[in-house]
């Protein structure tokens, strides 16, 4: 196994059988994590970029089997922020030092292209980069968002296996998801995607295929998190994902895509108090503290235990402390993917 880790570190290439073998073995996990950390340092440096996350609507039209925002969850108190609330929160985040604002929501049809573009133009005037994570849209909508100021778009594939994808996404098409990713890439967005680790019936080979999928579509940022079952979903009794398996997928992703941005996801911190620190020591270079107020965050209930009950300024300060404690530095610029720069 050590020779496969060396190959990945030096050549940034592994096939699906090699990736599967590394995912199924635990003997060389620490060697894998160390290799990913070395590659991270070599290609993207010691900076950790902070993104200010604003989850502006928990209203969603979708039926995703694993997600607490699914439209059939009647126990969730639904709320969408107003246009002024979104812009004011972005302004506070910018004043706090964030150079990237992440606007995330369920697939809420209230925010049509005209309304969202108006919000984007107002936030762009704050001199920040903007990442959108609002689901599947048409080519024309993606184009309008780009022209209004959006720089990046995160649309996680969750799994690149068509049968598994459609089993957990009722009424959704795998082909349309992939179409969206290609549209975003063709429009010049920094393209973000990612996967859930620990979905029911998911295998190590599925996860190996996900990593190769990320490389195939030339993603610029990859978010990887362990699946955490939500009590108000059809998959509430499933086992869920394992932190170390998720970190392994992330580390292998860093080895094969050395120049991309990889966040230490909040789901990792939910499973273990040191989850994000472990991710930062295994290839990650981004943290996304929540910039919204506690009441708004509490309602964005994708999975249990997600929302930290701390003011946004404390969340940012805690992230900075975590970065400095690891001997890393806080990124000062917009944090564009070096993958784009060749």
243: number of Cβ within 10 Å = 21
Q: Which of 265, 263, 152, 257 is nearest to 210 (CA)?
A: 257
Closest by Cα among 1, 53, 32 to 290 = 53
Given this model, what pLDDT does residue 308 score? 56
Q: Which of 307, 292, 314, 276 is nearest to 48 (CA)?
A: 276
Give Cβ neighbours of residue 163 (< 8 Å, ≥ 6 apart).
none
| Surface-to-core class of residue 327, CB atoms within 10 Å of its CB (0-12 exposed, 13-18 middle, 19+ buried) | exposed
Contacts of 72 (CB under 8 A, 6+ apart): 63
Instruction: Look at strands 47-50 and 329-330 and give their pairing.
Output: parallel
Cβ-based neighbours of 295, under 8 Å, separated by 6 or more: none
Q: What digits encode the pLDDT tens for the residues 109-141?
A: 999 999 999 999 999 999 999 999 999 999 999
Q: What share of the chain is helix, strand, coil (3-state, %, to 5)?
A: 45, 15, 40
Phi, psi of 194, deg, nearest 5: 160, -175
Structure tokens at 335: 């944090």
Q: What is the pTM of this model?
A: 0.96
The predicted pLDDT at position 169 comes to 98
User: For 223-240, how does the pLDDT look when each residue is reduced to its tens digit (9 = 90+)?
Assistant: 999 999 999 999 999 999
Integer CA distances (angstroms), 2 to 31, 32, 55, 145, 155, in order: 8, 8, 41, 45, 33
CA distance 284 to 45: 11
- Our measurement of the distance from residue 180's CA atom to the centroid of its chain's CA atoms, rounded to an integer in Å, reads 16
User: What does the pLDDT read at residue 141?
Assistant: 98
CA distance 205 to 20: 5
* Residues 14/4, Cβ–Cβ less than 8 Å: yes
What pLDDT shows up at residue 225? 94
Residue with tokens 């957990």: 168
| Domains with residue ranges and CATH for the chain | 2-11+19-330 (3.20.20.70)
Q: If you search the block for the tokens 């190769």, which residue do you land on?
A: 212
d(CA 319, CA 290): 10
Asked if residues 182 and 167 have their Cβ atoms less than 8 Å apart, the reply is no
The whole-number average pLDDT for the span 209-220 is 98
pLDDT digits 0-9 by tens, 144-202: 999 999 999 999 999 999 999 999 999 999 999 999 999 999 999 999 999 999 999 99
Output DSSP code: residue 329.
Answer: E
Alpha carbons 153 and 288: distance in angstroms, whole number: 14
Residue 309: pLDDT band (50, 70, 90) is low
Give the span between the Cα atoms of 62 and 107, in whole angstroms: 7
């Amino acid at each position: 196994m050590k020779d496969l880790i060396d190959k990945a570190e030096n050549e940034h290439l592994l096939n699906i059988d090699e990736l599967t073998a590394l995912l199924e073995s635990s003997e060389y996990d620490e060697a894998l994590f160390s290799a990913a950390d070395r590659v991270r340092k070599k290609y993207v440096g010691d900076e950790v970029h902070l993104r200010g996350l604003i989850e502006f609507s928990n209203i969603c039209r979708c039926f995703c089997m694993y997600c607490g925002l699914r439209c059939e969850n009647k126990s969730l108190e639904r709320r969408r922020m107003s246009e002024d609330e979104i812009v004011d929160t972005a302004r506070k985040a910018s004043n706090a030092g964030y150079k990237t604002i992440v606007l995330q929501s369920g697939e809420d049809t209230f925010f049509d292209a005209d309304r969202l573009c108006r919000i984007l133009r107002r936030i762009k005037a704050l001199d920040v980069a903007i990442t959108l994570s609002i689901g599947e849209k048409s080519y024309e909508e993606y184009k309008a968002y780009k022209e209004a100021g959006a720089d990046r778009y995160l649309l996680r594939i969750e799994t690149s296996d068509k049968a598994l994808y459609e089993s957990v996404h009722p009424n959704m098409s795998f082909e349309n998801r992939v179409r969206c990713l290609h549209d975003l890439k063709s429009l010049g967005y920094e393209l973000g995607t990612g996967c859930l680790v620990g979905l029911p019936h998911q295998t190590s080979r599925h996860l190996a295929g996900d990593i190769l999928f990320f490389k195939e579509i030339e993603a610029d940022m990859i978010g990887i998190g362990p699946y955490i079952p939500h009590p108000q979903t059809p998959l509430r009794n499933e086992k869920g994902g394992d932190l170390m398996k998720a970190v392994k997928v992330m580390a292998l992703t860093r080895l094969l895509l050395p120049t991309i941005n990889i966040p230490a996801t909040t789901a990792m911190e939910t499973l273990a108090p040191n989850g994000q620190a472990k991710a930062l020591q295994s290839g990650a270079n981004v943290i996304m503290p929540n910039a919204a107020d506690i009441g708004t965050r509490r309602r964005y209930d994708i999975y249990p235990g997600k929302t930290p009950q701390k003011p946004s300024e404390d969340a940012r300060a805690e992230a900075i402390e975590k970065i400095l404690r690891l001997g890393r530095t806080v990124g000062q610029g917009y944090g564009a993917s070096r993958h784009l720069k060749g």
